[in-house]
Chain A
Amino acid sequence: MTVLGYLANGLVFSSIIVLGSIGLSLVYSIADFANFAHGDTMTIGAYTALVTFGAVGGLGGAVLGLPYGFFLALVVGIAVAAVVAVGTEKLIYEPLDVDSIGLLITSIGIAFIYRAVIQIRFGSGFTRFDIQPLRPIESLVPYGVRVTLHDVAIVGSAAVLVVGLHVLLQYTDLGRKMRAMADNPDLARVSGIRTKRVKLWTWVIGAGLAGAGGVFLGLFNQLSPRMGFNLLLVIFAAVILGGIGSVYGAMAGGFLIGMINQLTPFFSNVVEALPIAPNWLETVLENLISIEYANAIAFVIMVVVLLVRPNGIAGEGAT
C-alpha cells in the first residue's frame, strides 16, 4: 500500500477515535473525572445497533453500501448509549459522596458491569454486522488507496456529527453553558447556570458520540465485548495528546493518534529501509515499530506528552 493508502485508512480510523475522544473529553471537563466506562459505552452502542439491525433488516434501500436499516440502528445505538449513561449518572455517580478519584474507581466497576452484561447476552466471541462487505472503490485503487464506500460512510457520518457538535458548542445556549462549565465550574455555578442540567446533556452528547463510534468500530473492524475497553487507552492517549479540558484538542488528538496508529506499517517499512548505525538499535527499532505495537506507540506518546508538555496541544495542566 502507498502512503496515501495508509493515510486514507488513518482517516477512517481517526473518525472513530475522534468520536470517542470528544465524548471522553467532554465528560472529563464537565463531570470532572476520568470515565473508565467510556470504552464500554462504545460497546453498548455497537451491540444495540447489532440487535436493532438484526431486528429491522435492510428496510428497502441503501446508501453508500449501507442499508437504511443500518442508519436506523446507528441512531438507536446512539440513543441507548446516551440513555444508559444518563441512567448511570443519575443512579450511581450523582448520589456518590466521593472525590474524582472515587468516581474514577466507580467507573471501572460500571465498565465491568456494562461489559459483563453484553458478554453474558452475546458470548465472548467476535461477530459482525450482517452487511455485505464491499470491494475497495475502483477509482482509488490505482493510487494505492483501498477504501470502501462503508469507510466513506464512516468518515462522512463522523464529520457530520463533529460539525454538529461544533455548531452546538458555538452557536447554541447549551453549548455556551457547556463551555462555561468546562472553563470555570465555580463561576458557572454562581452565574446561575443549572449545572446539573448541563451535566446531564453532556452525558447525553458524550455517550451518544461514543455509541456512534462503537457502531462504526463494529463496521470497520468487528464486534466483541472487549472492543470498547481495548480502545479506551488509545482514546485516553488521544485526549491527553489533545489536551485535557479542550474538546477541539480532543478532536486534534484523536485525529493524530488515529493516523499514527494506522501509519505504523508505513513507519515500519521506513525503519526497515533506513540504514541505522548501531546494529542493536536497528533491531530494537524494527521490532518495536511494528504492527503489533501500534497501540503501544500511542501509550508511549501519551506518557511522553504527560511528562514533557502536560497541557497537550490545547488544554490545562497535568500535575
Chain B
Amino acid sequence: MSLLSDPKGAVADLTRPEAWVLGVSVAFMLFLLGALLTGALGPTYFLFLVGLAGMYALLSFGLNAQWGFTGLINFSVAAFFGIGAYGSALMTASGSPIAGGFNPIVGLVVALVAAFVLALLIGIPTLRLRADYLAIASLGLAEVVRLIVLNERWLTNGSAGLRGIPSFFKGWPVLSTFPETMPGIRLVVIPGSPVILETAFWQASLNVLLVLAFAGAAYFVLRRAHQSPWGRVLRTIRSDEDLARALGKNTYSFKMQSFILGSLIMALAGVFYTHLNLYVGPGDLDPITTFYAWVAVILGGSGSNRGALFGGIVIVTIREGTRFLNDVALPIDPAPLRLLLIGVVIVAVMRYRPQGILPPQRELIWPSAVDGGGTPDTPESGVREQKGGGSDE
C-alpha cells in the first residue's frame, strides 16, 4: 500500500514498531525544524548533519548487503570506507604523493576499483571461514590495511593525510559555481531570528545532493538485488548454508558477490566523505567506523534498508549530539560518552530486540511475478517475531 496513493490506509497498515519509528522521526524532525527556525541550529551545520547521516546510511546499506542479506560478519567496514576515501583523495587532492589533480569522477572510479580489489584480497581468505573466525580475521586484515595506510608515506602521505581535495562537482557546468552564484537568502519565519542562507549553505546543499544521489543509487540496486532469486539464495545461506549447497547453489561465489557489493557501497560512502571533509587521514580507518555501521544495522534491523537508514540517523545523533552536549551542558568528554552510548545501544538491542527495530518483512520474490506485492500473511508483528513451529496438524 503506497503512502502516496492512500495515506490514511497506509498509516493504519503500519505495524507497531513502524508506527513508533514514524512517530519518533516526525517528532525529531519537528524538533530540528524548531531549532533551525529559532537560530539554535545553524542551517549549514544542519545540512552537514544530513550529509553525515546519509554517509552512515550508505555504510549501513553496504554492511546490510553483507550481514543482513547473507549473514557475513564483516568487521572490516572501516578498511573499505578508508579505501574509498583514500582512492578518491589520492587521485584528486593537490597534496597527493602519487597522483593528484584528477577529476573527482576519476577519483570515484579508482576508489571503486580499489575497493573491488581489496574485497577480493580480504574475501578470498576469509569467506570460507565460519562466522566468528570471519569476524576476527576481517578485523585483523582491516588493521593491516590501516597500518599500511599509516606507514607507507610514499603512497599515502602517512599520518599527515591528504589535503587540497576539491569539491566533487569541480568542473561541472552549473554546479561547480553554484555556491557562489546563488544569492544569499534571508528568511524570517520567527520575527527576530532571521535564518541566513549563504555560500556555505549552498555548498552544503550540494553535498546533500551528492549523498542523496549515492544513497539513492545504492538503495535502488540493493532493493532490486534483494527481492529476487539472487537475494533469496543469500537469505538461504544466512539461515542454513548447507541447505543452499545441497540445492546446487555455489555458496562461496554468492558470498563473494554479496561481499563485493557491500564493499563497493562502503567505498562509495568513503568517496563522499572525501569530498565532504576535504581532508583524509589514517585516523579515518579507525575501527570505530566499523562498529558505528554495525550498531546502525543491528539497531535498524538486519537485512532492512529502511532500518539501515534509521540506524544511520541514530548514529549521527549520537555522534553530534554528544559533542553538542559537551559544549552546552555536561562536562563529560564526548568521545568516551559516544563509546558508552554505542556500547549501551548494542547491549540493549541484543537484550531486548535482537532482530532490530524494523526487521525486514518482504518476501524475496521478484515483484512482477507476484500479485499483491509479496507481503506474507502476518499478524501484528513481523515475520521474524514468530518463534518455533506451530502445533502438529
Interface residues, chain A, CB within 8 Å of chain B?
A: 33-34, 92, 95-98, 100-102, 104-106, 108-113, 115-117, 119-120, 123-124, 225, 233, 236-237, 240, 287, 292-293, 295-296, 299-300, 302-303, 306-307, 310, 318-319
B294 an interface residue at 8 Å Cβ cutoff? Answer: yes
B354 an interface residue at 8 Å Cβ cutoff? Answer: yes
B158 smallest CB distance to A (angstroms): 10
B333 an interface residue at 8 Å Cβ cutoff? Answer: yes
Residues from chain A with a CB closer than 8 A to the CB of B339 are: 112-113, 115-116, 119
A319 smallest CB distance to B (angstroms): 6
Given contacts A98-B350, A296-B147, A303-B125, contact A111 B343 (CB under 8 A): yes
Residues from chain A with a CB closer than 8 A to the CB of B131 are: 101
Whether the pair A306, B137 counts as a contact (CB closer than 8 A) is yes
The digit string for B133-171, where 1 denotes a CB below 8 A from any CB of A, is: 101110111011001101110000000000000000000
B238 smallest CB distance to A (angstroms): 11
Whether the pair B350, A119 counts as a contact (CB closer than 8 A) is no
* Extra A-B contacts (6), CB below 8 Å, given A34-B132, A105-B294, A307-B125: A34-B136, A104-B135, A105-B298, A106-B346, A113-B347, A295-B147
B337 an interface residue at 8 Å Cβ cutoff? Answer: yes
Q: How many B residues touch A, CB cutoff 8 Å?
A: 42
Inter-chain CA distance A221–B156, complex, in Å, is 29
Residues from chain A with a CB closer than 8 A to the CB of B65 are: none
Residues from chain B with a CB closer than 8 A to the CB of A293 are: 144, 147, 151
Residues from chain A with a CB closer than 8 A to the CB of B152 are: 287
Q: Which of A119, A303, A319 interacts with B335 by CB under 8 Å?
A: A119
Residues from chain B with a CB closer than 8 A to the CB of A98 are: 350, 354
Could you pull out 21 A-B pairs where Cβ atoms are within 8 angstroms?
Answer: A34-B135, A34-B136, A96-B351, A101-B132, A109-B343, A109-B346, A110-B343, A111-B343, A112-B339, A113-B347, A116-B336, A116-B339, A233-B143, A287-B151, A292-B147, A292-B151, A296-B143, A302-B136, A303-B126, A306-B129, A306-B133
Given contacts A98-B350, A106-B346, A113-B343, contact A120 B332 (CB under 8 A): yes
Which residues of B299-340 have CB atoms within 8 Å of chain A's CB atoms?
332-333, 335-340
Inter-chain CA distance A21–B123, complex, in Å, is 26
Given contacts A112-B340, A115-B339, A119-B339, contact A233 B354 (CB under 8 A): no
Whether the pair A104, B132 counts as a contact (CB closer than 8 A) is yes
